Structure 1
């Protein structure tokens, strides 16, 4: 599970990602790894499904944010991402 989450997170929000200087508070928040909750569940044949859900409370945003997360299908044995939605 941990390996699948780490692989998906590195694709979703690579370490060292920084907002551009003119970024809004929302744009800067969306680049923060800690602004996303993570859920993972095992699937068939060694596949793990990893989902990132945006938590606006982390950045105290006043406007709603829709569709800021992603779901990954990760082949843990092969160390690769099979699909992203």
Structure 2
């Protein structure tokens, strides 16, 4: 092989690799690892006695539906920037909301309600009443509003 043929072959391989990586870019799942406390902090934590009367239990399908609704409601990377106003910064944080979960027949209903007054010190707005989801046990969003 001549030097020119080797360069062309290498260039074609690089181009093919770039095309493959571009085509597969939607295949990669971004996972944000949680922050984990130090061993010293963990040593100070005592778990409670687990009992049904003092806990909130979600069934497997309800938990799956909640995760699906959360991923749709606040997709990864949808955080507000420091340049945004206080409302936008508040409502872009998942911890600014409460979630109400109610099971149905092969469907789970979820409602995210903002708590901007309690969590951000802002006056509640009648315009943003949160979001509601109906998610099937198969993991399909049947309705959202």
Does the TM-score normalized on the shorter chain lie above 0.5?
Answer: yes
Task: Give 1 or 2 for the bigger CA radius of gyration.
Answer: 2
* TM-score, L = length of structure 1: 0.86
Q: Write out the 4+ residue segments of structure 1 that deviate beyond 6 Å after TM superposition.
A: none
Task: Give the structure 2 partner of residue 58 of structure 1.
Answer: 119
Give the structure with the higher percent strand: 1
Task: Give the structure 2 partner of residue 35 of structure 1.
Answer: 96
CA distances 1:9-43 after superposition (whole Å, capped 9, x unpaired): 11001123221453101111111000010011111
* TM-score, L = length of structure 2: 0.53
- Structure 1 residues not aligned, in runs of 5+: none
Map residues 65-84 of structure 1 onto 2, 5 A cutoff: 65-66=125-126, 67-76=128-137, 78-84=138-144
Q: 2:77 pairs with 16, 20, 26, which one?
A: 16
Distance 1:41 1:68 in 2: 18
- Structure 2 residues not aligned, in runs of 5+: 1-61
Distance 1:24 1:42 in 2: 36
Distance 2:97 2:78 in 1: 15
Aligned length: 82
Higher relative contact order (CA 8 A, sep 6+): 1
